[in-house]
Structure 1
Amino acid sequence: MRPMHTHTAEQPPAAAQGCEPSEPQPVTLRADDGYPLGGFVWRHREPPAHGAPRPVVIVNAATSVRCRYYFRFAAWLHRHGWDAIVYDYRGIGESRPENLSALDASWLDWGERDFEAVLRYAHKAFAGQPIDVVGHSIGGFVIGLAPSNALVRRVFTMGAQYAHWRDYARRSRAAMLWKWHVVMPALTRLYGYFPAGRLGWMEDTPRGVAIAWSRSRARFEETYRHAPIARGHAQRQALASRFAALRAPILAASVTDDAFGTVAAIERLLGYFTHSDTLHLRIAPAAIGAESIGHFAFFHSRFETSLWPIALGWLRTGQLEPSTPGAIVSSRGAPG
């Protein structure tokens, strides 16, 4: 497929012209357990010229990646007509407590409490506006955990999965098993959290997240069978069934040089969203003239004209343009 035609940053499309400067405003939200979550909001001061409600997009970060990493992407969506919200999960960045070792938090908390709080905030603060979500890596997974996920209109994910070790790319599996399933849990037991920042791997990470990652099972809910992150059988089943409440169509993008976002990993997560139309698009770096993309670089500004329009087009119409680079791995419709 040919690379998608896009506008350059110096010549924004007509829909983006006249937009206010992309200056985010800090915001602090409270999860249902009172935990303070820090984030940033880009909000237009004027109503959209076409009269239809302006959509708002929530960007869900990857595991232990600060929300500031997504600033340029969120500002770009703002210039193209969206209001935008980025935030940090508890324990990370703007939402890090003074004593991280005292924090009990797992991926479940990031979804059913933190993303849920941001989703409810968007529903109230941007009343009447459609809510879209962009989820990077675990940020696509936590969408399914939020009790209010039925509020979402459309979803775009990049490399979204929950790190089951059998899904790691074969070429990298041995090194990843050592890094994430031996070193990470060992250091977490020693420090009370995973000191990933000292290793230059990512942000320091709450111990519950590190434990869940290192124990990740083929069925994610089975990861939470044992202390200290245990949930009862009924609770685990309720978590899995919550994904079916999402009715938003999902475009799940992946790239061929992402050792986390393999076909098996992406498809494993999509299988939980049983009431959403899902489309899995897989992109080789060569298809956009790049040497590599990997797990993180989609949101780097160097891909503003080649990859970001894929997300924008999907959020705008719920469809892929014919010239979109990549190949369709799977396409499934929700039951009628």
Structure 2
Amino acid sequence: MGGFEWRHGVPDPSRAVVIISAATSVRCTYYARFADYLFNHGLDVMLYDYRGIGVSRSGSLRGFKASWSDWGVLDAHAILMRAQRECPGQPIDMVGHSFGGCTVGLAAGASRVRRLVTVGAQFAYWRDYAAAQRWPMFARWHVVMPLLTRLCGYFPGKRLGWLEDTPAGVVNDWAAMNTRFERLPSARTLHSLPFASVTANTLAISLSDDPFGTVAATERLLRYFSASERTHLRINPADIGETAIGHFAFFHSRYQQSLWPIALGWLLDGALAHDTAGTFINRPL
């Protein structure tokens, strides 16, 4: 498994190390500017690519064995153990984008995470997609994607300009159309899911124009983190003077002054500023 690090030098128990878990089939370098921002505000940061993606890919994906469960149980756990080993005594926090928000709940080391920020996090249950885009999204992700995967032995996402090339096992999980994570093809073989061992103070950010990260989808995943204090903040682009943000743009550097401080404040203090943009869907009393 490969990745990149932003480190301040010797471990310091007052400085957290933040692990960023990417969306499905997105290279970890997509989050490099956000990692720079966190580093420049005093945090250590680790990015990593899931097996079969980016710097963690070697050779053809035809016949390559990897699933969503592997990305969490094996890869997210490995990076958590590396953070613990290389940054002894430092708190470990995580940021998860889209499926990346699920990874902490699959890793056996999940109980070590102190604070968690998720953005558009869900596991692609199709009925949770935004109503206006639901059927086109269903056709793309639950019909075309698995059909092409069956033909090619993997999903050739780069050729289509959709995603990175994606292992067949990941596609099978995404396209499975189950309401429960534990019913996804790869999850059925797991003895247990560590979600309930996560005690991280959790901030789930959803964007009102994100067709994946609807309120229903975000809350569906949040319910798995039953031992965590969970805050769900929903942001409308108009709240920050924008017309669109969508599923991916939160991590674009143009939001360094408007959206990124929300995540930074949570990672530094475990709290939100009183004037934070957005509306609370769910918040601890």
- Do both proteins adopt the same fold according to a TM-score greater than 0.5, normalized to the shorter chain? yes
Write out per-residue CA displacement over residues 213-240 of structure 1, whole angstroms, 9 at most, x where no aligned residue: 010310111122xxxx4734xx35x12x
Please say if 1:44 is aligned against 2:5: no
Which position in structure 2 is the counterpart of 1:150? 111
**Superposition CA RMSD, Å:** 1.3
8 Å CA contact retained: 2:6, 2:36: yes
Write out per-residue CA displacement over residues 228-263 of structure 1, whole angstroms, 9 at most, x where no aligned residue: x4734xx35x12xx1010111100000000000000
| Aligned-residue offset at 1:47 | 6.8
Aligned pair partner of 2:149 in 175, 178, 188: 188
| Aligned-residue offset at 1:53 | 2.1
Please say if 1:267 is aligned against 2:219: yes
Write out per-residue CA displacement over residues 276-335 of structure 1, whole angstroms, 9 at most, x where no aligned residue: 0000000000110111100000000000000000000001111111010000001247xx
Which position in structure 2 is the counterpart of 1:204? 165
2:2 alignment partner, SS class: strand
2:164 alignment partner, SS class: coil
Write out per-residue CA displacement over residues 3-60 of structure 1, whole angstroms, 9 at most, x where no aligned residue: xxxxxxxxxxxxxxxxxxxxxxxxxxxxxxxxxx110001013676xxx521100000
8 Å CA contact retained: 2:105, 2:195: yes
Please say if 1:277 is aligned against 2:277: no
Structure 2 distance, partners of 1:280, 1:92, is 30
8 Å CA contact retained: 1:162, 1:216: no
Identify unmatched segments of 5+ residues in structure 2. none
What amino acid does structure 2 have at the position aligned with 1:97? S
Identify unmatched segments of 5+ residues in structure 1. 1-36
Please say if 1:118 is aligned against 2:79: yes
Write out per-residue CA displacement over residues 114-168 of structure 1, whole angstroms, 9 at most, x where no aligned residue: 0000000000000000001000000001110000101111000100000000100
Runs of 4+ in 1 over 6 A off after TM superposition: none
Structure 1 distance, partners of 2:258, 2:11, is 29
Please say if 1:330 is aligned against 2:282: yes
Structure 1 distance, partners of 2:62, 2:41, is 41
Which position in structure 1 is the counterpart of 2:188? 231
2:175 alignment partner, SS class: helix
Which position in structure 2 is the counterpart of 1:165? 126
Which position in structure 1 is the counterpart of 2:206? 254
Structure 1 distance, partners of 2:283, 2:259, is 20
Structure 2 distance, partners of 1:165, 1:179, is 11
8 Å CA contact retained: 2:72, 2:105: yes
Aligned pair partner of 1:69 in 21, 30, 36: 30
What amino acid does structure 2 have at the position aligned with 1:198? R
Which position in structure 2 is the counterpart of 1:221? 182
2:104 alignment partner, SS class: helix
Which position in structure 1 is the counterpart of 2:50? 89
Change (3 A) 1:135 1:321: same
Structure 2 distance, partners of 1:255, 1:264, is 12
Aligned pair partner of 1:295 in 247, 266, 275: 247
| Aligned-residue offset at 1:102 | 2.4
What amino acid does structure 1 have at the position aligned with 2:24? T
Structure 2 distance, partners of 1:107, 1:264, is 21
8 Å CA contact retained: 2:21, 2:95: yes
Q: TM-score, normalised by structure 1?
A: 0.83
Structure 2 distance, partners of 1:69, 1:289, is 24
